[in-house]
Chains A and B, each alone.
Chain A
Amino acid sequence: MMASSYNAKDEDGHLPGSVGSGGPGAVKSKKPDNTAFKQQRLPAWQPILTAGTVLPAFFMIGLIFIPIGIGLLVTSNNIKEFEIDYTGVDMSSPCFSCSQNYSWNSTSACTCSVPFTLDQPFESNVFMYYGLSNFYQNHRRYVKSRDDSQLNGDKSSLLNPSKECEPYRTSDKKSIAPCGAIANSLFNDTLELFYNHPNGSKITIHLEKTGIAWWTDKHVKFRNPGGNNNNLSSVFRDTSKPVNWHKPVYELDPSDPDNNGFVNEDFIVWMRTAALPTFRKLYRIIQKKKDNMTPTLPPGNYSLEVTYNYPVRSFDGRKRMILSTISWMGGKNPFLGIAYITVGSVCFFLGVVLLIIHHKYGNRNNSADIPN
């Protein structure tokens, strides 16, 4: 028998009889089926990294990424952002005295006023954030210390919250609503903004307090128990307020029943824990003026009135207030643009280097010298 012929024979040369007998009901042969799958001959695309594909890919990435990066950087630079630290660490800080006698228990509010100046006008909607530093909202014990079904308005969870909430589960033998460490540590500073008009008058800037939470959170995830029962105080009758809170949950925003109780947007925003220990959370929105002619925040002197309730000094925390406009890419973020430009250039550069290497040393004719 010829040496090389037996492969070919076995491949297609199964005995003619066995082909015919393949019909249904025929005796089952032990011969494996001749399907592309079983014989591992599935049609396939077999890409290889060659100079022809890799180098253009690198150049393409370079050429695409650099413009994107430039675009991002320009957009980011057009975003105006202003940040002010009002923690009151320094003696000179207006909030220094407030920060000194902080306590959760203090009943009398301490207020301070921080002046600042905007050099540039803020157009369009301005977003007002509060920022905390060194605050570990991402600590495991903290993160899990909540009861989502209680927050979703579940009656039984309201009176009997999850064990995860410990040690903020009950106080005075009453269940806490909302329970848990996250709720307990709700940010409770009140920030107000005033524009010091050059003519000396102090104009209150209207701060929109709704629309700052995700729609899904406000309408699906968080719900007051008892549905649309407006009498929240009766709903929460058998519960106790979180230990650190000054007022119970149904008094978070007594003026607006849609923003009270668990569906209070400040509360919802707080309950979405931050991933990093330094974070900012949306506090208010300053709507742009209707006439669209004057900027939302014209340049000039402003003052930030703080009702200082939230102690952060104990853990070296900082509190900030941030004003920012946004664009399609969200807030100010020069890093992304820079990163795009860098990656794009690196890719392009790599492309060039690889091209040189390939040209100089590469084996373009390397199929010829395969042994055997």
Chain B
Amino acid sequence: MALRWLWMLVPWRGDWNPRSKSPGQEEERHVRANDRDYNERFSYADNHIKTAKYNVFTFLPINLFEQFQRFANAYFLVLLILQLIPEISSLSWFTTIVPLVLVLAITAVKDATDDYFRHKSDQQVNTRQSQVLIKGKLQNEKWMNVRVGDIIKLENNQFVAADLLLLSSSEPYGLCYIETAELDGETNLKVRQALTVTSDLGDDVAKLADFNGEVICEPPNNKLDKFTGTLFWKDNKYPLDNEKMLLRGCVLRNTEWCFGLVIFAGLQTKLMQNCGRTKLKRTSIDKLMNTLVLWIFGFLICMGIILAIGNTIWEQKVGSNFWEYLQWKELTISAVFSGFLTFWSYVIILNTVVPISLYVSVEVLRLGHSYFINWDRRMYYSRKATPAEARTTTLNEELGQVEFIFSDKTGTLTQNIMVFNKCSINGKTYGDVYDEFGHKVDITEKTPCVDFSFNPLMDRKFRFHDSSLVEAIKLEEPLVQEFFRLLALCHTIMPEERNEGELVYQAQSPDEGALVTAARNFGFVFRSRTPETITLYEMGQAVTYQLLAILDFNNVRKRMSVIVRNPKGQLKLYSKGADTILFDRLDPSNEELMFTTSEHLNEFAGEGLRTLALAYKDLDEDVFDEWMKKLLFASTALENREEKLGALYEEIEQGMMLLGATAIEDKLQEGVPETIACLTLANIKIWVLTGDKLETAMNIGYSCNMLRDDMNEVFIISGHTMVEVRQELRMAKERIMGPGKDKFSSGLDMEKTELYSSDSVFEETIIAEYALIINGHSLAHALEADLEQILVDVACLCKTVICCRVTPLQKALVVELIKRHKRAVTLAIGDGANDVSMIKTAHIGVGISGQEGMQAVLASDYSFAQFRYLQRLLLVHGRWSYHRMCNFLCYFFYKNFAFTLVHFWYGFLCGFSAQTVYDQWFITLFNIVYTSLPVLAMGLFDQDVNEQYSLRYPNLYRPGQLNQLFNKRKFFTCTLQGAFAVTIATSLVIVVSAQIGLDTNYWTAVNHFFIWGSLAVYFAILFAMHSDGIFTIFPNQFPFIGTARNSLNQKIVWLVILLTTVVCIMPMVAVRFIKADLYPTHTDKVRLLQQASRRQGPQEQNFRRVRRTSSRRSAYAFAHQQGYGELITSGKNMKVPTASTSTYPLSSPARGNSVVKNSVVSGTTDAAETNSTGFRRESDQNQEVTVEDLEAR
């Protein structure tokens, strides 16, 4: 714990960088299996991994070298050296060395600890065991001893030790399954298949030992999804691609064993090559502080020069006459030389303007703020026992300045859980809960769930609240049974039954999983399947259906069907699909039911649910036989096979009988809409960047309240070419700016556009709300240099921006774009490996923890379990941090200027001789002891506005975004104030204490203790240092004996102290009062309100109630229902959210166009994008994965 504390104290994160050993030279890789001598000629990297930076001997020199590369450390080192020169030394060396050594030591300890853990994790990884085929025998070897060209054996659930070429496996056809979650964050299994020639080797060790194939392939690179090579074996050539590779970091699944040939090892594996360097993130305050320190340094030099010139002149004019009293050998050289020396003396004396304690204090503050985040119970997610964690301690105040949030969708906004929520069976809806008066009841955690205990095969996690459906099942209503039978039969899921009754469904899409799981719980358990049969347990009875045909899903058909023969011998076609599609193919007798069902569908869609319509058809044996023949014929056709099949499917999927519809909820995380609404009020723009499809993304947009029915327009950019995208963006911009106003082409600079948008369009954008939805392939064009300007313009005019089907790389590019163009603080939040790039790029990266993958969390700066905690992190912690840090810096600069400038003025009185006014103990202790604790206490505990009000008035967040609390102007004010407050010693301590009292908004006991304590300590130390005792021990160090006693005895001294204090403090009080009185900021107002409400205790209750009734949740619900009702009455159909699912993009072109006039949402767009199974897939896997992620397991 202590160690952890120490390394958290230090700001910079370990930025180790596993450099590969000059891969540049290697142009082609030759690997011969089982031939170490041959492979050693190329000196490939072995499987030993070293991520540590130091060893015992190199630690001190390297670490010190690194530390002195920091400006501040080097500066203080130079000061220290200067102080050792007696001619210059105006202060004793201990004034500098004590804090310097302290800082260096803390940093060194932190670095050492970090490196120790790296050593440990390296060690742990390097000594993992793997079975290597050596000299014809399988031997256990440590990972680090594995060489390129070795053949190793992997067993189920083992980590792959190096990048392997798959040779053979336990599964037929040399297949093997791997999980690549560590690499790309996808948790679904992937298949790899060995070459047939090598898979024939099987697990015959002797044959494998004889295998002497040679692989010639590409040199090591970081492309996770590409591999090209050739295997030469027995005079044959076999091409190799990525489908035959097992990469380090994968886990073998569902495969008993497999053998592989090591191609890349250790640092040359793709995983290690992908270990992006963790960029050191710095806050804008940090950067500003550095600039200011440089300025101050310049200022210091200026003062030094002025004083040095003064000294030269003085020595010439006055000093030379004073010679008799003040002989000095060096002076005989020249007055200019004396001036030169004086310059350095003053640099030493005035160094307190850039006090080393500034850096230490800032780190302490940030550490404290980080701890407050870690300790916050309101960011603790009890269900997963995950507290919030500040993984980086250096960014806290920037949390108070965020302007853009880039959020992932899946797992961040949503829980990635599809829940079978409602259904409509034969014109009757199920799923809503009504109370005894027939009113709909909101479903909460406490709503009782339906008891499925009658079903031994149920999934315990499944929850359903409407018991009427179970009753219907129990009454064996045939249509209800048929409904669930359809769900249990019509899908492409693979069941897995590890133990009796422990069914696990391997679903390609979570929607299907949800539907089949629902059927399972309602007593239609899909138990197993073979290519020809499907076995269900219908109400506990095993029933096997013959599977005759699967009419698979694609994006044009938007439906899938199965044809089965039930045990009674009846032929049935079961179909599920988009309602619009299915409704066209129904038997005319269904019209009435269709009407009712479509009403229900609208209702479901209005609630943001994804819907599917279900239908069945009884088939005639002869018709089917006939059709089957045609199908067989068509499936062997060489030309236009797809079309012919499609036509055949179409032919049989006619005249179906409607069964009903399902509604699936893509469950949002708790409180997401409210959080988004609140953050929007805080003027933070939230962009959703998701790999999901357009419809899904839009659906979530609606349910998150980011898209609303009352928005003026939703622009959808989905052009495929540069020209189209440009056209669409231009049009969008024109629509927003109003026709004819758009005189700005993409070439115009930002300021102008902003200026423009801020006056004439400003009001319009307030009233009019636009949304922009952009597709991944369009984004690729829009991100090019020509279009990015107009993209930024349009996007920033829109309230909501959603980018769908974006690759991880594009996510990072979008963040980068905003960083570049807007100079705004960006925050990226995500949960998966595909968000890592974005998280690393943004100023602040937030990872959602408590999920399966750890990549995002490990790459992030902050992590917590729920999206909604973001609100608290930003509006409470971030705001406080920012506020505290700014006040702290203002005060700190003020204090040090007040402290140091005395010497400047005194220079004019003491012949520019660099004589100090204070004794040096005062100088040493002033920053460290006398004045550090109160300001630290303020920096840690101050709250201008308490948390309730911070959350209630998100507008209070604004100053942070505008950088209002600490900027260069503010800095000058502080320093001016400091220059004004030039007083001496005791009164200085009192003045700065009074000032901190004035600056403190939130006087906790700690503040009281520190402020009064510091004063007390000051006087205690003062008297101690000026006491007889200490003088008799060190007469030379403490010559100020008796001064305190003698001077503080005099009443006039106290009168002077009182006067100077008042003179220094009152103007500030007056100015602040006038400001707060005449131009109150939001903060001032809220503080007043807060104070008023505190005085009248009961009123707070009142406030809360008011807040509840006007809660955004209900507002959101109203907005949606209102829009929905309007649509019903207006006779139009529902908008886009009506029809959208993740698996089956159902929105028809006609509907899409009714909303989105200038865009092309059509099936064809998606058909091109989605592969035929509708599998969700991240196309770009080229992302950074750090080794820690992998090795952490």
- Interface residues, chain A, with chain B CB atoms under 8 Å away: 1-4, 6-7, 10-11, 14-15, 18, 29-34, 38-40, 42-51, 54, 57-58, 61, 65, 68, 72, 104, 134-136, 138-143, 147-149, 151-152, 154, 162-163, 166-168, 181, 184-185, 214-217, 220-221, 244, 275-277, 311, 314-316, 328-330, 333, 336, 339-340, 343, 347, 350, 354, 357-358, 361-363, 366-367, 369-372
Contacts and interface: CB of A to CB of B under 8 A. Distances in A.
Interface stretch (B195-203, B285-293, B617-625, B1109-1117): B1109-1117
Point out which of A3, A215, A316, A330 has the most chain B C-beta atoms below 10 A from its C-beta: A3
A140 B90 contact: yes
A357 B1074 contact: yes
A148 B1035 contact: yes
Contact of A65 (B375, B1001, B1062, B1087): B1062
Contacts of A367: 1085-1086, 1088-1089, 1092
Interface stretch (B316-324, B823-831, B1167-1175): B316-324
B3 interface: no
Contacts of B1112: 3
Given A51-B1077, A354-B1074, A372 B325 contact: no
A221 B385 contact: no
B1055 A139 contact: no
B377 A31 contact: yes
Given A46-B1091, A48-B1088, A54 B377 contact: no
Contact of B1070 (A11, A58, A154): A58
B1036 A147 contact: yes
Interface in B873-929: 880, 909-911, 913-917
Contact of A49 (B380, B1076, B1086, B1108): B1076
Nearest to B1047: A214
Interface residues of B, number: 101
Given A3-B673, A139-B910, A140-B345, 20 more contacts: A1-B445, A2-B442, A11-B378, A32-B374, A33-B375, A44-B941, A104-B324, A140-B915, A181-B325, A214-B1046, A216-B1045, A275-B909, A343-B1062, A347-B1062, A350-B1070, A354-B1073, A354-B1077, A363-B1078, A366-B1088, A372-B681
Given A3-B674, A167-B329, A221 B1042 contact: yes
A30 B385 contact: yes
A139 B385 contact: no
B671 interface: yes
Contacts of B1051: 328-329
B377 A372 contact: no
A34 B325 contact: no
Nearest to A136: B911
Contacts of B1036: 147-149, 162
Interface string B130-155: 00000000000000000000000000
Interface string B294-319: 00000000000000000000000011
A143 B915 contact: yes
A154 B325 CA distance: 25
Interface string B317-361: 011011111111100000000000000010000000000000000
Contacts of B1073: 49, 51, 54, 354
Nearest to B868: A6
B915 A38 contact: no
A337 B731 CA distance: 76
Interface stretch (B76-84, B643-651, B1002-1010): B1002-1010
B377 A32 contact: yes
13 contacts: A1-B671, A32-B377, A38-B372, A40-B372, A138-B915, A167-B329, A217-B1042, A311-B324, A314-B322, A330-B1052, A333-B1052, A354-B1074, A372-B953
Interface of B: 86, 90, 318-319, 321-329, 345, 372, 374-378, 380, 382, 385-387, 442, 444-445, 670-671, 673-674, 681, 868, 880, 909-911, 913-917, 941, 943, 947, 951, 953-955, 1001-1007, 1028, 1031-1032, 1035-1036, 1039, 1041-1042, 1045-1046, 1050-1052, 1055-1056, 1059, 1062-1063, 1066, 1069-1070, 1072-1074, 1076-1078, 1080, 1082, 1084-1092, 1107-1108, 1111-1114
Nearest to A152: B1035
Q: Specify which of A32, A275, A361, A372 lies most central, judged by the most chain B CB atoms within 10 Å of its CB.
A: A32
Contact of B1085 (A39, A139, A142, A366): A366
A42 B1055 contact: no
A364 B954 CA distance: 23
A339 B917 CA distance: 23
Contacts of A371: 953, 955, 1082
Contacts of B1028: 216, 220
Contact of A357 (B319, B1039, B1078): B1078
A220 B1032 contact: yes
Given A3-B1111, A370-B955, A314 B324 contact: yes
Contact of A329 (B445, B1041, B1052, B1080): B1052
Of all A-B residue pairs in the complex, the 3 with the closest CB atoms, nearest first, are: A216-B1042, A3-B1113, A315-B321
A10 B377 contact: yes
B1087 A214 contact: no
Nearest to B1090: A46
A14 B953 contact: no
Contacts of A354: 1070, 1073-1074, 1077
A32 B864 CA distance: 13
B1055 A72 contact: yes
A42 B941 contact: yes
A44 B1077 contact: no
Nearest to B673: A3
Contacts of B1063: 343
**Among A44, A54, A163, A167, which residue has the most Cβ atoms of chain B within 10 A?**
A44
Nearest to B1075: A49
Contacts of A3: 671, 673-674, 1111-1114
Interface centre among B323, B375, B909, B951 (most CB of A within 10 A): B375
B385 A31 contact: yes
Contact of B1077 (A2, A43, A138, A358): A358
A220 B1052 contact: no
B1001 A46 contact: yes
Given A3-B671, A68-B1055, A370-B1089, A11 B377 contact: yes
A162 B1062 CA distance: 43
Contacts of A166: 329
Given A32-B374, A33-B375, A354-B1073, A185 B325 contact: yes
A13 to B, nearest CB: 9
A215 B1069 CA distance: 42
A354 B1066 CA distance: 12
B424 to A, nearest CB: 25
A189 to B, nearest CB: 15
Contacts of B953: 370-372
Contacts of B1055: 68, 72, 329, 336, 340
Contacts of A43: 1004-1005
Contacts of B378: 7, 10-11
Contacts of A215: 1042
Given A221-B1041, A336-B1059, A31 B382 contact: yes
Contacts of B326: 136, 139, 141-142, 181
Given A221-B1042, A354-B1073, A34 B674 contact: no
Contact of A31 (B387, B1006, B1108): B387
B943 A44 contact: yes
A2 B1113 contact: yes
B1035 A149 contact: yes
A39 B946 CA distance: 12
A330 B1050 contact: yes
B915 A167 contact: no
A202 B799 CA distance: 100
B913 A141 contact: yes
A357 B1077 contact: yes
Given A140-B90, A141-B913, A276-B909, A44 B1003 contact: yes
